[in-house]
A and B are shown apart, each in its own frame.
Chain A
Amino acid sequence: MPTDPVIEVAGVTKTFAGVRALDDVDFTLNRGEIHALVGENGAGKSTLIKVLTGIHSPDSGQIRRTGRISTIYQEVNLVPLMSVAANLFLGREPRNRLGLIDRARRDAEAAELLRGYGITADVRSPLGTLAVGEQQMVALARAVEADADVVIMDEPTSSLEPREVETLLEVVRKLHEAGIAIIYVSHRMDELYRICDTVTVLRDGRSVHSGPLRELPRIELVSLMLGRSVNEIRKHGTTAFGEDHHADTQPVLEALDLTSKPRINGVNVAIRPGEVVGLAGLLGSGRTETAKAIIGALPLDHGTVLVAGKPVPHNVRAATRAGISMLAEDRKTEGIIPNLSVRENIVLAALPRLGRFGVISRAKQDRIVDTFVRRLRIKVSSPEQKVAELSGGNQQKVLLARWLCSEPRILLLDEPTRGIDVGAKAEVQALIDELAKEGLAVLLISSELDELLDGADRLVVLRDGEVAGELEGAQLSREHVLAAIAAEVMDDADSH
């Protein structure tokens, strides 16, 4: 490939509140190239895109851009109330002789143009009446038709149906033929290998690899993203079930065929009392969605959740009553009420059970709070201290206490140790172990492989919303998990 860079980034560093989001990153995009940009959550992809498009200015380093950049974001950034045609042409509408917008021509051109993207909906109807996939396609058409030299796509297929993905990839190919350079961000290995020429892997704000994609085996790409040497990874099959040391007990939770397209597709999970089941997989593989589906917070196409063999209606109230509790990933927005005290935060979930006729016995509250503060070793000056004043780890324990005091049988933990310091992390991990020993069934979601390997009795590996493998006993090793995530490798190994 001739090297004719349209974007050249050298030694770019960007710091947010003392955290290095980008650390001395080099990045080159050549004309007519499809460049994959990959990395786990927090690796710095979004920051790099924002630096490229000029939304952020770097602390140091150089950026050289030639030509116009168009960006398509993961969420559709269009105006739902305006018509499809108005969205498509906003800012460059066809004019009549008087300089006024020629609506008839605009609508006709829009309809014509969108047909090429497989959209046949009425272009005069509000954009918001279209399906999300179609909206994404309109956003793509808008970006492409703006005469861009570079198109950046940030996970464009994450909300698309398989058929729509095909159309999108077709469009990408057409752009490629037209000589437009593309930066393609995705976690979907299949897509990357189908369309991308080159790849840059970011990890912890650093560019750890850059080069032709086809020469890089999938398993090596995954290991680069997760930060392990490829030499450690043995290539062999992983899906054989090992002996089941909980075989004597019936699962307390069985989730069958959970499907909510396009996020998750036919996921099965079973957890026995006293067992910690880990959910592994890359970002966007459907981990959080699976947990949300179990607790009834994600609308399902089909699928059933059984608690102790009985089906649970698909809503959060019913799931909670059946004994399922979920500790959400983002404790700031989905759980903690910072200005209430530790006591108030803990008893919140238990209020309906504690209160009689709406009156809650204060003595009873204190007793429960006391128990949990001691049991979970929450470090507070008094139960009346505001939660906002606690450290991240202790906040997490308060949330945990809240769910525990409603006496759940099944606990879903989504990234329970994210954002808390190492010491607190170890304590929370120990606590999870303890709770399981007491008979709780735990589903543990974590991006940290070590945490899953140490904490879980069994691992369910997800890939693109489907179960890619279940690992147990001797199979609980980094190599097996990576192999399962990069599943295609097994086919390679088989065919050689």
Chain B
Amino acid sequence: MTTLTAATRTKVLQRQGAAVALILMVTVSWLVFPRFGSLDNLRDLALQGSFLAVIALGMTFVIITGGIDLSVGSLYALGGVLAAWGSQYGFLAALTLPLAVCGAIGLINGLLIARTNMAPFIVTLASLLFARGLLLAITDEGATTYQIAPDSAFVELGRGTVFGFGYPIFIAAALCALGGVVLNRTNFGQNVFATGGAEQSAVLMGVPVARTKIGVYTASGTLAGLAGALTAAYLQSGVTVIGVGTELDAISVVVIGGTLLTGGMGTVLGTVIGVGLIKVIQNVINQIGTLDSNYQSVVSGVFLLIVVVLQRMLRR
């Protein structure tokens, strides 16, 4: 039990560590790259971050229960394609179809994990393959790209702005705020922490562990589908090649944000900061014109490693 005080210290340092790193990165970038601080660039940055934030929000809940959801990258792409296809039947179809299908796959993930006690890693890996395969099947192996009519209301959802800030930014912000309240101020949120903190004890304390798990995987799938729909609306088409490896991006930002990969501890705010950090790094690398954009991954990877190493060192 003595490790716990250290773990608490880690939590504080880590969350603030990510925040400090974000502020530092932003300040330095602002000074070094004149274009970084421009309103256009900041709007673009926030918009890019909003899609990942929606996916990472669901992942935060899943990881706090001690699980993992590898299917979100595929569901993100599938959601986009379904939205684009559905848009020919109107706004409602474009929005509800991806949410329903991706939510259903998330529900199946949750049912399998909670009821049969299979490892989340395996179950969601299967869904990753399943969803990607489904996507390729309905798009003739990616050859068909469904377009969304540029003047439709659905495109407005992705491209509309308030003071130049895209709607997805507000949607993501509202969802994260809601997520934070659910996590900290509702029974369900407490059950999420209890399930990930000590599952056996949670069962004995009367926590509906199975229902909680089903809930987080369903939410994660639904949110990935929503992120896909928003992306499709923004791009005006269902792009089939997106979302490869996005599940790993989502896991990275959650962990960078201070959520324990072993479960039981984490915050939505930390995840939002993690998203900001990754997106700022990517943005800066884009500003350095001479660097290949592939270095984005290199830097993100190094950063994640540093965070995990720090986690370890601080816990000792």
Residue of B nearest to A99 (CB): B186
Q: Mark the stretch among B50-58, B136-144, B195-203 that contacts chain A.
A: B195-203
Q: Is B179 an interface residue (CB 8 A)?
A: no
Residue of A nearest to B196 (CB): A81
Please, which residues of chain B bring their CB within 8 A of the CB of A125? 8
Q: CB-CB contacts of A66-99 with B at 8 A, as 1s and 0s? A: 0000010100111111100011001101000000
B1 touches A128 (CB 8 A): yes
Q: Which of B184-202 contact A (CB under 8 A)?
A: 184-187, 190-191, 193-194, 196-198, 200-202
Q: How far is the CB of B276 from chain A (nearest CB, A)?
A: 26
Give which listed residue, B4, B7, B187, B206, contacts A93 with CB less than 8 A.
Answer: B187
Known: A90-B205, A91-B207, A128-B1. A81 touches B185 (CB 8 A): no
Residue of B nearest to A55 (CB): B204
Q: Is B18 an interface residue (CB 8 A)?
A: no
Please, which residues of chain A bring their CB within 8 A of the CB of B202? 79
A77 touches B201 (CB 8 A): yes
Q: Is B181 an interface residue (CB 8 A)?
A: yes
Q: How far is the CB of B198 from chain A (nearest CB, A)?
A: 5
Q: Is B238 an interface residue (CB 8 A)?
A: no
**Bound CA span A91–B202, Å:** 10
The total of chain B residues at the interface (CB under 8 A) is 27
Secondary structure class of chain A's binding surface, majority of residues: loop
A78 touches B205 (CB 8 A): yes
B194 touches A79 (CB 8 A): yes
**Bound CA span A265–B249, Å:** 54
A128 touches B4 (CB 8 A): yes
B1 touches A86 (CB 8 A): no
**Bound CA span A103–B204, Å:** 23
Known: A100-B181, A100-B185, A132-B1. A78 touches B201 (CB 8 A): yes
B4 touches A126 (CB 8 A): yes
Q: Which of B201-217 contact A (CB under 8 A)?
A: 201-202, 204-207
A73 touches B204 (CB 8 A): yes
Q: Is A216 an interface residue (CB 8 A)?
A: no
Give which listed residue, A86, A103, A128, A142, contacts B193 with CB less than 8 A.
Answer: A86
B194 touches A100 (CB 8 A): no
Most buried by A among B191, B198, B264: B198
The bracket for how many chain A residues form the interface is: 20 to 34
A129 touches B8 (CB 8 A): yes
Please, which residues of chain A bring their CB within 8 A of the CB of B116? none
Q: Is B176 an interface residue (CB 8 A)?
A: no
Give which listed residue, A71, A86, A129, contacts B4 with CB less than 8 A.
Answer: A129
B181 touches A81 (CB 8 A): no
B185 touches A80 (CB 8 A): no
Residue of B nearest to A75 (CB): B201
B200 touches A77 (CB 8 A): yes
Please, which residues of chain B bring their CB within 8 A of the CB of A100? 181, 185-186
Please, which residues of chain A bring their CB within 8 A of the CB of B265? 81
Q: Is A108 an interface residue (CB 8 A)?
A: no
A81 touches B197 (CB 8 A): yes
Q: Is B290 an interface residue (CB 8 A)?
A: no
**Bound CA span A78–B194, Å:** 8
Q: How far is the CB of B8 from chain A (nearest CB, A)?
A: 6
Question: 3 closest pairs, A vs B, by CB?
Answer: A128-B4, A79-B197, A81-B264
26 sample A-B contacts, Cβ–Cβ < 8 Å, listed by A number: A71-B204, A78-B201, A79-B197, A79-B201, A79-B264, A80-B197, A80-B198, A81-B4, A81-B196, A81-B197, A81-B198, A82-B194, A90-B194, A93-B190, A100-B181, A100-B185, A101-B185, A101-B186, A101-B187, A103-B184, A103-B185, A126-B7, A128-B4, A128-B7, A130-B1, A132-B1
Q: Could you tell me which A residues sit within 8 Å of B by CB distance?
A: 71, 73, 76-82, 86-87, 90-91, 93, 100-101, 103, 125-126, 128-130, 132, 142
